[in-house]
Each structure stands twice: as structure tokens, then as C-alpha cells.
Amino acid sequence: MAKQDNNESMVAKHALDRLNHVEKEHRKAYAKKPEKFSSAKIIMGIILIIVLLTSLISFF
């Protein structure tokens, strides 16, 4: 009887460990990733400034 209880407790422990692992993986998908300044963002910003400057110059 004790062996069966031990086996059931090991199964329950394994199930809880697996559940914790799965929940951790699910939380990882929703974790906020740190923003990095990529070169594409910098280039887009420069292009935006150029477009705004040319539109302002065309008014005058």
C-alpha cells in the first residue's frame, strides 16, 4: 500500500512540475520584450524628418 501511495505521489509531483513548466512557457509569450533601437527605426525617423522639412519648405 505504501508503494502505491508513493507511486501516486510521484505521479502527482510530476504532473505539478509539468504544469508549472507549461504555465511558465505560457507566461513567456506575454512577457514584455525590451525595445531596441534598430537601424530601421532610425532610418524611418530620418525619412520622416526629411519629408516634414520638405513639406514646410514648400509652403514658403
Q: Name residue, grid cell 505504501.
A: 2
Residue 11 has what pLDDT? 86
The terminus-to-terminus CA distance of the chain in angstroms comes to: 93
Question: pTM for the whole thing?
Answer: 0.43
- Residues of the chain short of pLDDT 50, as ranges, are 1
Residue 3 has what pLDDT? 62
Cα–Cα distance measured from residue 45 to residue 53, given in angstroms and rounded to the nearest whole number: 12
Residue ranges per structural domain of the chain: 2-59
Residue 4 has what pLDDT? 63
Residue 39 has what pLDDT? 86
Q: Which three cell numbers stand for residue 3?
A: 508503494
Residue 5 has what pLDDT? 66
